[in-house]
Amino acid sequence: MHKTMNRNSNVYTVIYATVLTVLVAILLSAASLGLKDKQKANTDNEKKQQILQSVASKLGKEVTFENAADLWQELKMDDAMFCVNTKGEKVDGKAFDIASKSLFSAGKIIPEATLPVYVANINGVPYRIMSMYGAGLWGPIWGYLSVDPEGKVAGVSFDHDSETAGLGSKIKDDPAFANAFIGKSIFTDGKFTSVSVTKAGKPANYGGEKVDAITGATKTSDYVGIMIYESLLGYVPFIQGGTAQAGCCQKHEGNCGEKETCGMEGCQKEACTPESCGKEECKAQCGDKSECAAKAECADKAECDACKKAE
């Protein structure tokens, strides 16, 4: 070995390290730049698949990782997404780039969050797809839920990080669980009651419709129920913008006579703001005080308390 330089000198060491670092940096930047598009396409594609999965039953075909991008194109989804705030007003923002995780703090939706909405027009019916996120039994769970114009669930898709394989993981793997949500209404008489997930034979804990929990994975199922409720809570004003009247109408059908007349003017003024609907409903349901406190029939605790005071 012929030594021209002292390998242990400070200068040599510093120069060596610098050259090595620069070379590696160049190599890695090049690789990163070269592969960026493909990587982005992959993550986007996965998101598209999950979004479209929530309307798969309306599409009538399976959404896979492979066909997700094509279906996305077909439905012109790129033009059919927007953002809303928790008051239900449209706001600026890039819906697709919003990470649903960022909308939550301690399991509750942040009041000033900007929520993404995707609208899939299938056979002329607009299905609004909303993003959900929450805690599971072992790690985060997330998903998408679509509602039809009447406020009924058109489909859901769930994914999870680390739920128990074969049990909790069924929220993603077992189509029967997701399909059970289809057709359930998230409003009861114009009031948001979500879709509860409870053990077979047990009542819905949010007072509306329910889906049976997965056998052996009651906890993960419970968390799915909580996730749906907490996530949709932020969307309620937005969804009700399109469904409140319909819900109220059904309730006041008797008063208004025909559905058509009920539709817009008459009923709406008297009793049809979401708030008033809720409160009346609450009073009626609560009846006496003890019942009101014990059962969570009134979804909102504040409402219930108001009820009690009114009593």
Partner 1 sequence: MANEKKPGVFTGPLWTNNPVVVQVLGICSALAVTTQMKPALVMGISLTCVLAFANVIISVLRNTIPNRIRIIVQLVVVAALVILVNQILKAYVYDVSKALSVYVGLIITNCILMGRLEAFALGNKPFPALLDGLGNGIGYALILFITATLRELFGSGTLFGYDVLARFVNEAGYDGYQNCGFFTMPAAALIILGCIIWYQRAKNPDLQDK
Partner 2 sequence: MKLNDYINEKIDPLFQKGGKYEKLWSIYDSFHTFLFVPRHTAARKGVQVHDSVDSKRVIMMVILALVPAALVGMWNVGYQHDLALGINDGWFMQFLYGLVAFLPKVVVSYAVGLGIEMAVACMKREEVAEGFLATGLLIPMIVPVNTPLWMIAVATAFSVIFAKEIFGGTGMNIFNPALITRAFLFFAYPKAMSGDEVFVRTGSALCNSPIEGTAVVDGFSGATPLAAVADGTFDPVTYSTMDAFLGCIPGSIAETSTLAILLGACLLLVTRVASWRIMCSVFVGGALMSAIIAAFSENAPTVAQQLCLGGFAFAAVFMATDPVTGCRTNTGKYIYGLFIGVMAILIRMFNTGYPEGAMMAVLLGNACAPLIDYCVVNSNISKRAKRVNA
Nearer to partner 2, 206 or 235 (CB): 206
The strand ranges marked E within the chain are 81-85, 90-91, 104-105, 108-109, 114-122, 125-135, 140-147, 153-160, 187-188, 191-192, 195-198, 209-212
Least separation, in Å, of the C-beta of 23 and partner 1? 9
Q: Does the footprint of partner 1 cover residue 35 (CB under 8 A)?
A: yes
Tell me phi and psi for residue 119, to 5 degrees: -120, 120
Nearer to partner 1, 64 or 261 (CB): 64
Residue closest to 51 by CA, chosen among 158, 135, 201, 209: 158
Q: How far apart are CA 222 and CA 193, in angstroms?
A: 15
Residue pair 176/162 in contact by the 8 Å Cβ criterion: no
Q: What is the dihedral of CA 205, 208, 214, 219, to 10 degrees?
A: -30
Nearer to partner 1, 49 or 198 (CB): 49
Instruction: Among 107, 111, 139, 166, indicate the residue that binds partner 1 (CB under 8 A).
Output: 166
Least separation, in Å, of the C-beta of 165 and partner 2? 10
Residue closest to 137 by CA, chosen among 4, 227, 18: 227
Burial of 18 (C-beta count, 10 Å sphere; 0-12/13-18/19+): exposed
Tell me phi and psi for residue 90, to 5 degrees: -70, 135
269 binds, among partner 1, partner 2, none (CB under 5 to 8 A by kind): none
Angle at 65 between CA 145 and CA 152, to 5 degrees: 15
Q: Does the footprint of partner 1 cover residue 29 (CB under 8 A)?
A: no
Least separation, in Å, of the C-beta of 199 and partner 1? 21
The interface with partner 1 within residues 270-309 (CB under 8 A) comprises: none
Q: Does the footprint of partner 1 cover residue 65 (CB under 8 A)?
A: yes
Least separation, in Å, of the C-beta of 107 and partner 2? 16
The footprint of partner 2 (CB under 8 A) covers 137, 164, 166-167, 199, 201-202, 215-216, 218-219
CA distances from 2 to 11, 13, 93, 159 (A): 19, 18, 64, 61
Nearer to partner 2, 167 or 292 (CB): 167
Instruction: Among 42, 64, 73, 255, indicate the residue that binds partner 1 (CB under 8 A).
Output: 42
Contacts of 116 (CB under 8 A, 6+ apart): 81, 83, 93, 95, 96, 98, 100, 130, 131
Candidates 17-25, 86-94, 226-234, 239-247: pick the segment binding partner 1 (CB under 8 A). Answer: 17-25
219 binds, among partner 1, partner 2, none (CB under 5 to 8 A by kind): partner 2
Candidates 40-48, 114-122, 129-137, 189-197: pick the segment binding partner 1 (CB under 8 A). Answer: 40-48
Q: Does the footprint of partner 1 cover residue 13 (CB under 8 A)?
A: yes
Residues forming contacts to partner 1 in the complex (CB under 8 A) are 1, 7-8, 12-13, 16-17, 20-21, 24, 27-28, 31-32, 35, 38-39, 42-43, 45-46, 65, 164-166
